[in-house]
Amino acid sequence: MLDVTLEVRSFGAMKLSVRDHKRYLNGGRSCVQDLSCGLLRIDNPEELVRQDFIWTLIKEYRWPRSLVWSEFPLARAGLGRGRVDVLLVLPDETPFAVMECKAPTVPLDSKCYAQAENYAEALGVRYIILTNRSDTEVYAYASDEEPRKVVDLPSYATVMRDPDLVPPDEPALVEFRRPLWCDLSAPARLQTMVEEASGTVSVRTPAWLAKHVLDLDGLFLDEGEKPSLPWKEPGCTIDEDWGTSYWWFGNAAGGLWEGNYRSFLVRDATGDSHVVRLALMASAELEKDPRFGNCESKTYLVVAVTDAERAHNALQLCMDRFTRREGSFLELWHDGRLTAGRTGAVKRDNVISFVKSRAPDLVSGDQVSLGHLPADHSITWTDAKPFLSRLIRYALIRDQFRNDYLGAAGTTARAPRMEGQDWDVGDKIAVRWTEEDETQKVYDPCIVTKIDKKHGVFDGYTVEFPDGEVGQIDADRVEGPSEAASRNPSPSCLGRGDDG
C-alpha cells in the first residue's frame, strides 16, 4: 500500500477548492456542469460539494479527467445496488479510491463512513474519502487491514511513480493528430487510413466520401482547434465547446454507438440547455446474425443529446445515403425517418410537417435540408458552422416530436430515477434468476419493461426474459448491463439504425 504520510502536499491536509459554478437551465431546473464527464447535474448543495471535489482532484491533484468517474453504479461492475459519488481509477481502470460527498450541513459520521466502506469493499480500492466541503477525511484502506486515517490523498504523479500500482510497460498516450488534406487526397494513403479507421468510416463508403468523413472526424477530435463561440442561430445557440470524451448510446434497434464524441452546450428556443454530442462511426457488417440478420456496413454521423435526467441517441445520419457532391460542396439532407421508442417507426410525412411548423427554413420539399460542407479543402469550424447549427437544431426538434408523439400515444416520458434505481425502461440487463430446483441461472439479455414501486418507493423491476416471459425481480438480482450488448464490436453499432 502507498504510504501517503511520506508525501504531504504543500498546502497540507486535503482541502477542497471552492469555485463559482455556472448555472444552466434544463427542463426548467437549475443545473451545473459535471466536470468529470460533461453532464448536466441538478443544482443542489451536495452536488456543488461533489463538483468542488472533482475540480480539486483535476486541478490540484492533477488526476486526468478521464480517470475521475462520478455517479458510478455498482451494477455496472456486477456488484449489486448503489452509486459511488466519485470513483478514482488507474489508467487500466482499476478502482483506486471512493469518495462520499455530503451537503455542508451533513456531518461525516459513522453512517457516512459505513456507506463509503461498503463501496470500497465491493470495489477493492486503496482509499476512502469523505467530504462535506468544510471537513474532509482520508483513509488508507485495504480489506485485510484496519483502515487508518491519513493526512492526504496522493497526487496523480505520486501514484504513477509507484511500481506496485502502474505496470512498467504501460503504453504512453498518443496525442491525436488530424489527417492532412494532402494525405486524404492521395488515393493510396486514403485507402490505408480507411482501413486503419474501421470504426469511423465503413470500407463500403466510396472513397470520395470517405475522404470528407475522415476530415470531418479529424475536426471533431482535434481539441487544438476550437470554434469561436457562441454561434447564435434562430431557435438554437451553441454556447460552449466541452471537448471530446468517450461515450456510448443505444438506439431503438438495440445497437450500441460508442466512441469519442465532440460535445457542445446548446440552448434551444425555450432557453433550456442541452449537451449535444457528435461522432462519426461505422456500423458493423453482419451476415445471418440471429438478431439483426444481414446488414451492410455504413458510415453514420451520430447526434446524441444528454439532459439532466436522460441521455439518448437523437439522430443517426447515414452519410452514404444522405450526402451528395455538388461542384465544390457536399450537400447533406435527411428524409425524416424516425423511431419513437418501442412504438416503432413514425410516418415520415408527420416528422417533416412537424419540423416545418417549428423551423420552416430547414424543410425543402419533402426533405430536411442540413446545409453544405466544402469539398475542395479541409473543413474549418467556420465552414462547418451553418451545417452543424442546422444539424443540431434538427436533432432537438426531433426530440420535441418524440416527446409529443409518445405523449399522444399514452407513453410517458422517462421519469427521474428513484433511490436505488440504476436502470430505466428499455435498458438491456443481465438477470440472476432462481429456478424451481433452487439452481441459479443468468438470463441475458433481459429488457426492463416497468419500474416497480411500493407505496411510491422503488421496489425492483419488471423485465422481459429472452424467451418472452415477463417477471418481477429485485434490484439485487441484476448482474449488470447486458453482456450481449457489451460484445458489440467497439466502436461500431450492431443494428440497422433507426434514423437512416
> For 261-274, how does the pLDDT look when each residue is reduced to its tens digit (9 = 90+)?
999 999 998 899 99
| pLDDT for res 496 | 36
| pLDDT for res 493 | 41
Residue 222 CB neighbours (<10 A): 16
Give the distance, in angstroms, between the CA of residue 408 and the centroid of all CA atoms in the same chain.
Answer: 29
Give residue 472's pLDDT band: very low, low, confident or very high (50, 70, 90): confident
Section 27-35 average pLDDT: 90
CA angle centred on 54, ends 51 and 58, rounded to 5°: 140
| pLDDT for res 468 | 67
pLDDT: which is higher, 333 or 418: 333
What architecture is domain 4-160?
Alpha-Beta Complex (3.90)
26 CB-near residues (< 8 Å, 6+ apart): 40, 272, 273, 274, 307, 308
pLDDT: which is higher, 445 or 315: 315
Give residue 254's pLDDT band: very low, low, confident or very high (50, 70, 90): low
Q: What are the sequence ranges of the domains in the chain?
A: 4-160, 181-408, 428-486
Model confidence at 417: pLDDT above 70: yes
- In angstroms, the CA 393 to CA 474 distance is 41
Lowest mean pLDDT among 374-388, 449-463, 472-486: 472-486
How is domain 428-486 classified at the CATH fold level?
A: SH3 type barrels. (2.30.30)
Give residue 495's pLDDT band: very low, low, confident or very high (50, 70, 90): very low
Section 270-292 average pLDDT: 86
pLDDT: which is higher, 31 or 295: 31
Segment 92-101, tens digit of pLDDT:
889 999 999 9
Q: Percentage of the chain surpassing pLDDT 70? A: 83
Give residue 388's pLDDT band: very low, low, confident or very high (50, 70, 90): very high
